[in-house]
Structure formats: structure tokens, C-alpha cells
């Protein structure tokens, strides 16, 4: 049970890290928040790398070095597709 919860938590950290990485780009940040100032692309990108590294560490601690790396690498693709779909959906639903 703890293995599944740990994998789900790591997957959520990957999705959150990719969302923060996408919002580090000026066009995506303006699409999501119209009236807020950009805190800085360096801050957002460093935060995204911290989230992605913590998800990798969590999976490696739970599954071992080799299997954790494989699972993390395979989880990047569906996470990226999910973040892309969220950004596309948010663009069409929001009235600017």
C-alpha cells in the first residue's frame, strides 16, 4: 500500500513540476494569470527542477535506483501530455 501511495505522490510531484516549468514561460504565465506579475523565470524554473528532483528521489528511495529511474523516465511522458492538455483546455475555457 505504501508503495502505491509513494508512486502516486511522486507522479503528482512530476505533474506539479511540469506545470511550474510551463508557467515559467511568459506566454503560459500570462495565459494563466492575467493581472499578476511574473515572479521571474529563474525562480519558477529552479522550483520546477526542485520538484522534479524530489519526485525522482522519492521514487528511487521507494523502488531502488534502477527501477526508480525507469519508472520516473516512463512517467515523464504521460505527465507532460497531461500538462499540455490542461494548458490547451484552460486557454479555450478562459474568456480574456
**pLDDT (tens place) for every residue of the chain, 96 residues total:** 677 898 899 999 999 999 999 888 887 777 777 777 878 888 889 999 999 999 999 999 999 999 999 999 999 999 999 998 888 876 555 555
Nearest Cα neighbor of 21 from 75, 87, 68 is: 87
How long a stretch of residues is the chain?
96
- DSSP classification of residue 24: T
pLDDT number for residue 29: 79
pTM of the model: 0.84
pLDDT at 95: 58
H or E segment to which residue 94 belongs: none
Instruction: Check residue 91 and give its pLDDT.
Output: 57
For the chain, domain boundaries: 2-93
Amino acid at each position: 500500500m505504501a508503495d502505491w501511495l509513494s508512486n502516486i505522490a511522486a507522479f503528482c510531484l512530476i505533474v506539479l513540476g511540469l506545470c511550474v516549468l510551463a508557467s515559467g514561460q511568459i506566454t503560459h504565465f500570462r495565459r494563466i494569470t492575467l493581472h499578476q506579475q511574473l515572479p521571474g523565470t529563474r525562480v519558477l524554473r529552479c522550483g520546477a527542477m526542485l520538484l522534479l528532483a524530489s519526485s525522482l528521489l522519492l521514487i528511487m528511495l521507494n523502488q531502488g535506483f534502477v527501477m526508480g529511474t525507469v519508472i520516473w523516465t516512463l512517467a515523464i511522458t504521460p505527465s507532460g501530455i497531461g500538462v499540455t492538455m490542461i494548458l490547451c483546455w484552460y486557454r479555450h475555457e478562459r474568456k480574456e
